[in-house]
Structure 1
Amino acid sequence: MTIANKFSTDAARRVARQKLAEATGGKPHKGQRAFGWKDAEHVDEWEAELLRKARQDVLRGATIATIHKEWAAMGVRSPQTPGGKTIGYTSVRYVLRNPRLCGYRAYIPQEVRERSGRVDPAEYLVERTDGTPVVGKWETIFTPDEWRELIDELESRTSSGTGRKKGSAVTKRLLTGIARCAKCGGGLSSGLYQHGTTSYEKHGYYYYCRVADGGCGKLSRSGPLVEDYVEKALLDDLKRQARTVKPAEEDPELTTVKATLKQIEADKAEARQLRADDLLSLAEFAREIRRLEEKERTTKETVSTLSATPARAGSAAARVVREWKSYSVDMKRQEIQRNIEAVVISGAGKGGAQQGVFRPELIEIVWK
């Protein structure tokens, strides 16, 4: 029995070494295909488009829960989804964090899988001796910068210690925490009108200053009416931004930097050809590629900085206006918070309330 166990252990070690060697060499993982690909190397365009849209939505404020709800409604399934079911929440999170999306190779040891089940592949990147990630041999869906931007956004939503995750779907209403009472400055909460009442039938819910949260308890307003007013004001402001910022000719400096990027690509291709023709030693080739990659990284940072122009901001404003109706609540909240400091609501005063009359003069939007 002892000898049999030793043979089994030795075989397991050999398999593990082989798999690690394959990962280090950038070979695709064998077995069941990954979500986004139709096989080990070739992209499935329909699933890839889902992933690209999900990335954009997350960067605009959408939560994983929102993405999961959308995919489930579409009947999306991953290769691991049991028959008759749609993709699960944890699977959506897993596929969005998968470094394979940008070509990075991950390797999760079998003992880790057995001990922990599904783990975060982003934490198990295979690296070269110089600390850079190993790039695999398959078609990619994101660039490394796009994938890292997505990971950074998701990781920025980790628990803040308050019991609620930043960016979570717990906040259901558009202006919770944004709308404030003019009398005491407290953030407004939301509640449902009593079922069967006219207010419930017409509006459904309301914002109010809650005593339990430290507020004065002397203010309440119909939720949908306030939200419609704020949405219209925001969209009008974004339209103004889009109109007043005229697209300008590209900055000459930006044009020059972009040309530098193209030249770097040409130099990298030339170095590879010289190496293939055995006109560069391996050491010379490695040094040259590393130099060019470092130059490429700093040049891309310069491009990003120079591209952040007012014209770009105007274009972003126009896009938000165009796509607003398709935004989820959490995406709309993020855009509101990007432009508005607070929505301050005043009380109507003694005898000032009129049944069924909306009074916009009692609402003040504090813009950033």
Structure 2
Amino acid sequence: MMTDLEKEVIHSADAARRVARQTLAEATAGKPHKGQRAFGWKDAEHVEEREAELLQIARSDILKGKKVETVHEEWTRLKVRSPQTPPGKTIGYSSVRYVLRNPRLCGYRSYVPQEVRERSGRVDPVEWLIERTDGTPVVGQWETIYTPDEWRELIDVLDARKSTGRGRKVGSTVTKRLMTGIARCAKCGTGLSSGMYTRGTTSYERYGCRKADGGCGSLSRSGPPVADYVEKILLGNLKKQAQSAKSTEEEDPELTKAKKTVKQIEADKAEARQLRADDELSLAEFAREIRRLEDKEREIKEKVSSLSAAPVRAGSAAARIVREWKNYTVDMKREEMQKSIESIMVKPAGKGGAQRGAFRPELIEIVWK
């Protein structure tokens, strides 16, 4: 028979679990954080103008090369305080880093379990974004200070300064990885989840089909070789597009059709004028018909103009992407990949196949849009 103390402990544990479930549910629904306000906001939903301005200036300066240490020094001289700053003190360096990395700035919701907070203290909020099954972040219900692109750009710059190796900082999930939301299991069709796999001191990205996500659980693959292969194929296609747009003289079938439509409208207008001259159309009927044809002609001519310029624009864009690809962030690369690629189907390698060392391109199939 349990003692009163044991019952109280069990009751407290149950209550803690219920609170944790409720807090996570609210976070997943995008509801604002409860409790003490965050730096940049005067309450749970509304921006604090002075702090928001400081954050905007800091972001702009950091992108231009200013160090976070310098931002901290400037804020110290301005006697900036965060809601958590002890009385008589100014904001600390770690707090500056934290508020600049806060996903809340662009509306993204994060959630750090209480046991993690108790064990680790302040953690990187970027690592605790709440995401839907398709890899997109949950958006909260409050005013924002940055746009998602502005925040992602800032995080990429901050991460790049502290990471000299290939890929992302270990544990970082900002903007997800290159093929998140694009790579799928060829066996069951489930989107592959991504994460960092660590063995000894070497960490690298891995993609896997998880049963927890509704998948078959039979696929796990090292990410960098797949990403390198897909990038190589994509850039090859873009180079061909650029060369084709520059050299081909073959007209777009849709453009040819539009030009024929313009000629037909001109013929219809001439016929309407003749019918009016023969008194087979009343003045009102003639006016309505001419107006209809002229409106249609204007619309089609705009389409002809757009289609005539499209190959040049497409070729120019493709050439620019190839030229600047090495300087693209993960987000920029993913955006371009998603314009051309429907999905990257990754086939299981068979028992022991994923550990054989050599990359096998025949296990990767790119489905183009």
TM-score by length of 2: 0.43
Q: Which has the higher contact order (CA 8 A, sep 6+)?
A: 1
**Which structure has the greater CA radius of gyration?**
2
TM-score by length of 1: 0.44
